[in-house]
Structure 1
Amino acid sequence: MVDEEKLPWELVDEILSRVPPTSLFRFRTVCKRWNVLFYDKTFMNNHKMTFRFILATESKIYSVSIDPKIEVCELTLYFPGLEYQKPQYLVDCDKFLLYGLDKGAVVWNPWLRQSRWIESSEIKQTPMQFSGIGDVDRNYKILASCSPTGLPNKSWCKIYDFASDAWKDYGSGDGIEERSSYVTFGDSVSLNGTLYWVAIEKTHKSFHLACFDFSRGKFIKGRNLPCEKTNSLKDALVLGVFKGDRLSLLKQCHKTKKIEIWVTKYKVNTNLAREDVEWINFMEVSSPNFPSLVYYSQPSYFIEDKRLVVCSWDKIGRAWIYVLGENKLISKSHIDYVVDPWPFHCTFIPSLVPVPRSQREELAELQV
């Protein structure tokens, strides 16, 4: 029997890179090779409909593609009543986005156009901040917290479980976690089911790594970060994900405008914050004419093919994209399509992981 004639794999790869994401999601069951391909970061990044930044204003949400040129598209996110709430934050959570609003947050996979509304669990009428999404064996959870008035050294923490669709207190019986020696700084980074932050010592003002391990349900204070401590709140200091399995750290000195990029030498595991982590200096860019990356908010960035791509505001709230490499600024572009100033922004790596549903929703679908 003559073997069936097959297309070269390079041609199959190219064809699939043009298929809409919602169709790719269904095609995972075609064969094992396709399923593996759809979780390959290189394939995802080369997909023709890939975008790398999300920007949100009070009225609109946009996606920003970088290659081969910068393209901006408006995204649709519709829930009844959301138009009456103001956006509060936008956090990249590895496979999903957290789009924070007045009364809760939307867990969103904009690539698959899937979303789920999570209502905030208020504590003593204090709004909650959704910190990020982690998981234990694909059982997804959200960590949220708030700082009650009159308790500056304490924060109330709760954990939302997607499967049970319920909030639970974290820590001791009253749900208070005391971290009097340090505070977390900036947005969290989600990697391998664990949330990571830059944390600052209140006494010595030194920076170190901190994490929340969902498998053990606890905060962990880690080792000092490799960069020198800073005395300026205008310095940029942002954690990111490098190559999908390691952490990166961007620092820009506000005075000299010098940018340093550090990456962890080895892959991340859940014990990273407690160990002697080895960081390596990956890139430096020195240009006194380069603008400051911090105007009321830290920048967003990703590293790819020895390029550093950064999104940040300028002094009047306009969004810019900077591409840097080989110790120089390669290009800069003002995103003029985004009319409203001061948009929230974050990175987003394309994902074919569906937004998790509750057990009740899954049961209802099976019954139908």
Structure 2
Amino acid sequence: MVSDLDLPRDLSEEVLSRIPLTCMRKVGSTCKKWNTLSKNRFFANKHLRQESEKAKGFMVVVMMDYSVYLMEVNLSDKDVESSSIKRHGKLISDQVDVCKVFHCDGLLVCVSRDQTRLVVWNPYCGKPLWIKAPHRRKIVKRYLYAIGHDKSSNSHKVLRFRAYYRRPTDFRIYDLSSGSMNSWRVLDITPPDWRVQDIHSGVSVNGNAYWLASEYEKSDLEYERTFLVCFDFTRETFGPRLPLPFEHFAHDTVSLSPVTGGKLAVLFQPWDSLRVKIWVTNKIEPDAVSWESKVFLSVSLKKSIHHMFQFMYTGGSFFIDEEMKVAVVFDEEFNHREPMCNLAYIIGVDGSLKKVNLGESSHPQFPPHACSYLPSLFQPN
């Protein structure tokens, strides 16, 4: 690292303020003065504001083909066709394949493909924290993960539990403030009477994690009673079942997404229909939820897609912009004549649709997964 650069502070700030988020850590490693300045709270907040103002839409983290990328979604106030998605760069090095990614308060949790390691970090200013995932056998079981915020201790925690077509078990939690790689703590939680499939990723809203769950006793795959469940990171326990604004069959597409302002959105597409609906909450807490009386989006894709089409029920991660009245859904597209590719579907509330090609998929049946990203100064350790 260079000891110093002979530049005035105001000029150094101006130079650093023009550096993209994905390059800040590399720049900080070249010069001690710049490294110190980049971690200054006043400058960092100024830089984050400038990055936010430059973005016409919002930043998202997208996992594709076991890699993680930062992308900018630019939405147009004219029409969907004028909107675009720009890839800024890879957020994590090639030293690990990532199979799951989660976000909370600017912190990302990336789970390795073999599920033996996790990396928690702040892409803006943090040093990656590598965590060993505990397992007793050589064959690693399927686990669900989530990251949240303990409001009583003002610390972030990572939850892990086993859940694969069965009642959740083996609940463990990792406190990021502990500073140790192996300080997983076992939680004394009675296995609940519901199940969560590992195809459904948890999302963080107001520091708590939410999943789509169904009744454990139901063995009929044609119909299951489905609902939301929440893990409260402050109380370190699950809340009661929370109702969804619809009922659905097992192979319908259902996906959850956090919304600006501490709200939750849910996307629903029946397996035999081109109609897509999205609801948004007006209240969301660990033990209570209520939904806006008016559906945010209810459109038929017949005008744009002239064949039977369904967002993958193993994928379909999405975001909405309430002001622009647009939804963006990430998925795969299969064409018998061409290689499978990763796509983003930009959908207007009027039913207009634009497909954005994100590149050829080298791992079919492993659709891209997107989660919101808001840069922050939180440190993982």
| 2:282 is the counterpart of 1:259 | no
The answer for the alignment partner of 2:71 in structure 1 is: 64
1:104-161: CA deviation from partner (whole Å, max 9, x where unpaired): 111233344742211101145544625111121331111001259xx94351110011
Q: For residues 46-104 of structure 1, what are the alpha-carbon distances to aligned partners after superposition, in whole Å with 9 as ceiling and x for unaligned?
A: 4489632413324x44333222632224415238xx44xx4332333452222211211
Q: Decide whether the 8 Å contact of 2:277 with 2:299 is kept in 1.
A: yes
Q: Which runs of 5+ in 1 are unaligned?
A: 1-13, 358-368
Task: Work out which of the residue numbers 237, 246, 256 in structure 1 matches 2:254.
Answer: 237
After alignment, is 285-294 or 309-318 more displaced?
285-294
Matched position secondary structure for 1:163: helix
Match of 1:355 in 2: 379
- Aligned equivalent of 1:77, options 92, 116, 119: 92
Give the match for residue 321 of structure 1: 344
SS of the aligned residue for 2:196 comes to: strand
- Which amino acid is 1:346 matched to? A
- Could you tell me which residue of structure 2 aligns to residue 162 of structure 1? 176
Q: 1:294 aligns with which of 302, 311, 316?
A: 311
Q: What is the rounded CA distance, in whole Å, between the counterparts of 1:154 and 1:121 in structure 2?
A: 16
Change (3 A) 1:214 1:115: same
The structure 2 residue matched to 1:191, chosen from 177, 180, 205, is 205
C-alpha contact (below 8 Å) 1:38/1:352 kept by paired residues: no
TM-score, length basis structure 1 = 0.75
1:51 and 2:59 are equivalent in the alignment: yes
Residue 263 (structure 1) shift: 0.5
Q: Which runs of 5+ in 2 are unaligned?
A: 1-13, 25-33, 75-82
Alignment: residue pair count: 322
Match for residue 213 of structure 1 among 229, 232, 247 = 232
The answer to whether the 8 A contact 1:128-1:144 is kept is no
8 Å contact kept, 1:99–1:106: yes
CA contact (8 A) 1:57 1:344 kept: yes
| SS of the residue 1:44 aligns to | helix
**Cα distance change of structure 1 residues 146 and 326 upon mapping to structure 2, 3 Å threshold:** closer
State the alpha-carbon separation in 2 of the partners of residues 51 and 63 from structure 1: 7
Partner of 2:4: none
Match of 1:346 in 2: 370
Q: Which range is displaced more, 248-257 or 294-303?
A: 294-303
Per-residue deviation at 1:206? 1.7
How many Å separate the matches in 2 of 1:20 and 1:157?
A: 38
Q: Does 1:140 align with 2:177?
A: no
Alignment match, 1:7: none
Structure 2: distance between partners of 1:78 and 1:215: 32
TM-score normalised by length of structure 2: 0.73
